[in-house]
């Protein structure tokens, strides 16, 4: 079959995989190829067990794979053979050298830019999909124009706003799609090609076009604003606990003001995920770099409150359980950074489990999707950790339950049955405010929620 356009996604991770799958599904006359340096990842995308768990994704892959969607490890040949290239490689926080712990590590991204330059034999549109520091497109352009080749490269910024667990519906029906480009003749022509792809399934009004720097910055700012709302409500949860107020009631009262809005006001043990912390730290680093220390410290406080919330959670467990956890068994209910994903990157459950182990508690971890990742995250930890799939088995013989992930099934567990199998007095620390706290208190638990008065028997 002759395809109308040939599109490549470099990086078959959480961003690249689902976004390329969606384009293939909506544009059957375009050929979409996804490449990755990691052969196991590609093998998984070609198998029945995809490397990314997203509701609805399997069905779309089944429909498109082998038709107009292909997965390959041959990065170089695919660069040659495709006209439109989405760069979706990972940009983690730097762990070494200048900016360690703050700045984005751009090594994978730069390697990709050089690979594109080396292998291109015809004009390419290169699209930044990964979240990147502002002005990365400029660096990309400089690398791409550094060769002797007389090939034009147009760099666009098209940041991805999908959230994990809802990737398919976010991609199918996003609030908006953002496309930034140079405002030159060639930049605008490249932008029009990308707009054409998205208008296959979205109305034109949903596609926002802007200059390239605004697009790059908007992605960081959107994530910073979302994380800031979570830290804002979490900071208020600490005050609620002191003042006998209920943070859910406060969030509801505040969020019904249409100027504020009700979303992202759920108090809990803090935000996780691969984006929020990384992107805020990146923003902080950029502000410092540009000589804006006040702006930097304003945004840094969002991350600090997130850490404070986890410290508070552990301090509360320790204090409520008679100031010692040594030898006690704690069941960690949920390890993913949020429900409906197996992803544990930056999950608050990681730091909380480490703190429990530091207190010499025995930790039993259960999660419907994330146990394999949890075992990798905690591989270096010393101490007694067990991984148990069945939540009832996990809780058996424990002194306390600590809810870390808002899995729907944890709302519906038979807490009476669980209570019966636990050591008494039994404690329930609900880090996501999902259990029926009054009912659990009536069953016999001492119940500690976030931002609500504790329900205890002593
Ligand atoms: C986020 C952005 O939402 C998305 O637009 C961007 O593309 C990537 O980063 P994601 O990390 O998948 O997506 O998850 P999100 O749903 O935003 O949740 C992030 C964290 O905040 C989770 O740990 C979640 O539990 C926490 N959260 C969210 C709260 O604690 N309270 C809330 O009210 C909302
Ligand atoms: P994200 O959440 O941003 O999608 P992931 O880590 O899930 O991040 O995915 C990024 C993917 O990019 C990984 O599978 C990694 O192997 C891949 N990758 C990194 N560098 C390159 C490269 N130079 N060429 C191809 N793939 C790459």
Decide if pLDDT at 1 tops 80: no
- 113 Cβ closer than 6 Å to some ligand 2 atom: no
Domain segments of the chain: what residues?
A: 5-202, 220-304, 306-449
Distance in Å, CA 330 to ligand 2 centroid: 35
- Is the CATH code 3.30.2030.30 the one for domain 306-449? no
CA angle 399, 403, 409 (to 5 degrees): 115
- 11 Cβ closer than 6 Å to some ligand 2 atom: yes
Q: What is the per-residue pLDDT for 128?
A: 93
Decide if pLDDT at 171 tops 80: yes
Q: Which of 44-53, 248-257, 356-365, 441-450 has the lowest mean pLDDT?
A: 44-53
Average pLDDT over residues 222-245: 97
Environment class of 326 (CB within 10 Å of its CB; exposed 0-12, middle 13-18, buried 19+): exposed
In this structure, which ligand is nearest to the CA of 132? 2
Q: pLDDT per residue over 87-109, tens digit each? A: 999 888 888 888 888 878 888 88
Measured CA to CA, the distance from residue 369 to residue 343 in angstroms comes to: 8
In this structure, which ligand is nearest to the CA of 38? 2
Average pLDDT over residues 234-262: 97
Decide if pLDDT at 276 tops 90: yes
Average pLDDT for the chain:
95
Decide if pLDDT at 137 tops 90: no
Q: What is the per-residue pLDDT for 269?
A: 98
Mutate to test the pocket of ligand 1, among 19, 132, 163 (most ligand atoms within 8 A of CB): 163
Decide if pLDDT at 457 tops 90: no
Decide if pLDDT at 437 tops 90: yes
Same fold, 5-202 and 306-449: yes
Distance in Å, CA 295 to ligand 2 centroid: 31
- 264 Cβ closer than 6 Å to some ligand 1 atom: yes
pTM exceeding 0.85:
yes
CA angle 131, 42, 152 (to 5 degrees): 50
What is the position in ligand 2's atom list of the atom closest to the CA of 130? Answer: 3
- 14 Cβ closer than 6 Å to some ligand 1 atom: no
- 45 Cβ closer than 6 Å to some ligand 2 atom: no
Distances (CA, A) of 70 to 9, 34, 86, 159: 10, 6, 15, 22
**Catalytic residue among 27, 88, 240, 275, which?**
275
Q: What is the per-residue pLDDT for 302?
A: 98
Distance in Å, CA 338 to ligand 1 centroid: 8
CB 25, CB 1: distance < 8 Å? no
Q: In 3D, which of 216, 328, 348 has the Cα closest to residue 282?
A: 216
- 226 Cβ closer than 6 Å to some ligand 1 atom: yes
Q: What is the per-residue pLDDT for 57?
A: 96
Nearest CA to ligand 1 atom 22: 271
Is 275 among the catalytic positions? yes
Q: Which residues of 363-380 are buried (b: 16+ CB within 10 A; e: fewer)?
A: bbbbbbbbbebbeebbee
Q: What is the per-residue pLDDT for 94?
A: 80
Backbone angles phi, psi at 72, to 5 degrees: -150, 160
Q: What is the per-residue pLDDT for 100?
A: 84
Distances (CA, A) of 179 to 108, 192, 226, 241: 22, 10, 21, 44
Distance in Å, CA 131 to ligand 1 centroid: 15
Q: What is the per-residue pLDDT for 104?
A: 80
Q: In 3D, which of 145, 216, 139, 213 has the Cα closest to residue 183?
A: 213
Residue 33 β-bridge partners: 8, 70
- 9 Cβ closer than 6 Å to some ligand 2 atom: no
Q: In 3D, which of 83, 149, 84, 82 has the Cα closest to residue 114?
A: 149
Q: What is the per-residue pLDDT for 131?
A: 79
Average pLDDT over residues 266-271: 98
Q: In 3D, which of 119, 164, 116 has the Cα closest to residue 144?
A: 116
CATH match for 5-202 among 3.20.20.100, 3.30.300.130, 3.40.50.720, 3.40.630.10: 3.40.50.720
Q: pLDDT per residue over 16-41, tens digit each? A: 999 999 999 999 999 999 999 999 99
Distance in Å, CA 51 to ligand 2 centroid: 12
Q: What is the per-residue pLDDT for 102?
A: 81
Residue position matching structure tokens 């950790």: 385
Question: In CATH, what class is 220-304?
Answer: mainly alpha
Distance in Å, CA 15 to ligand 2 centroid: 9
Q: In what order do the strands lie in the sheet containing 5-10?
A: 69-72, 30-35, 5-10, 84-87, 124-128, 153-157, 177-181, 207-211
With pLDDT > 70 as the criterion, what percentage of the chain qualifies? 100
What is the position in ligand 1's atom list of the atom closest to the CA of 337? Answer: 23
Decide if pLDDT at 84 tops 90: yes
- 223 Cβ closer than 6 Å to some ligand 1 atom: yes
Measured CA to CA, the distance from residue 274 to residue 92 in angstroms comes to: 8
Distance in Å, CA 370 to ligand 2 centroid: 20
CA atoms within 13 A of residue 161's CA, in its CB half-sphere: 24
Measured CA to CA, the distance from residue 239 to residue 236 in angstroms comes to: 5
Largest CA distance in the chain: 78
- 266 Cβ closer than 6 Å to some ligand 1 atom: yes
Q: pLDDT per residue over 335-388, tens digit each? A: 999 998 889 999 999 999 999 999 999 999 999 999 999 999 999 999 999 999
Q: What is the per-residue pLDDT for 316?
A: 97
């Amino acid at each position: 079959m002759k395809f109308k356009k040939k599109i490549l996604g470099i990086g078959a991770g959480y961003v690249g995989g689902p976004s390329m799958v969606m384009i293939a599904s909506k544009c059957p006359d375009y050929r979409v190829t996804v490449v990755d340096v990691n052969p196991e990842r590609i093998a998984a995308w070609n198998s029945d067990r995809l490397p990314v768990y997203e509701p609805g994704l399997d069905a779309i892959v089944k429909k498109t794979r082998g038709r107009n969607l292909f997965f390959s490890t041959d990065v170089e040949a695919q660069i040659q053979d495709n006209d439109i290239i989405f760069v979706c490689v990972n940009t983690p926080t730097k762990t070494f050298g200048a900016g360690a712990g703050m700045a984005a590590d751009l090594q994978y991204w730069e390697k990709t830019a050089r690979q594109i330059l080396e292998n291109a034999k015809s004009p390419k549109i290169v699209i930044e999909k990964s979240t990147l520091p502002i002005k990365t497109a400029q660096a990309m352009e400089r690398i791409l124009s550094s060769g002797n080749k007389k090939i034009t490269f147009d760099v666009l910024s098209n940041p991805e706003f999908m959230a994990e667990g809802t990737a398919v519906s976010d991609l199918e029906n996003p609030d908006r799609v953002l496309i930034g480009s140079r405002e030159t003749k060639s930049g605008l022509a490249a932008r029009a090609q990308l707009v054409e792809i998205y208008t296959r399934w979205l109305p034109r009004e949903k596609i926002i076009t802007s200059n390239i720097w605004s697009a790059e910055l908007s992605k960081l700012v959107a994530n910073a604003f979302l994380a800031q709302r979570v830290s804002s409500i979490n900071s208020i949860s600490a005050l609620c606990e002191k003042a006998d107020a209920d943070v859910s009631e406060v969030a509801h009262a505040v969020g019904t003001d249409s100027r504020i809005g009700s979303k992202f006001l759920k108090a809990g043990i803090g935000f996780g995920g691969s984006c929020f912390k990384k992107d805020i730290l990146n923003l902080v680093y950029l502000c410092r770099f540009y000589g804006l220390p006040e702006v930097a410290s304003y945004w840094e406080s969002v991350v600090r409150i997130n850490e404070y919330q986890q410290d508070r959670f552990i301090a509360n467990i320790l204090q409520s359980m008679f100031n010692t956890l040594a030898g006690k068994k704690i069941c960690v209910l949920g390890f993913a950074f949020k429900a409906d994903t197996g992803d544990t990157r930056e999950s608050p459950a990681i730091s909380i489990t480490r703190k429990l182990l530091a207190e010499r508690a025995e930790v039993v971890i259960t999660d419907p999707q994330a146990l394999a990742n949890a075992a990798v995250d905690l591989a270096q930890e010393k101490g007694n950790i067990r991984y148990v799939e069945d939540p009832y088995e996990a809780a058996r013989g424990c002194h306390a339950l600590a809810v870390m992930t808002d899995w729907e099934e944890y709302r519906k567990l038979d807490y009476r049955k669980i209570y019966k199998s636990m050591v008494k007095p039994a404690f329930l620390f609900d880090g996501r405010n999902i259990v029926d706290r009054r009912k659990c208190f009536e069953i016999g638990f001492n119940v500690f929620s976030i931002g609500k008065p504790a329900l205890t028997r002593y």
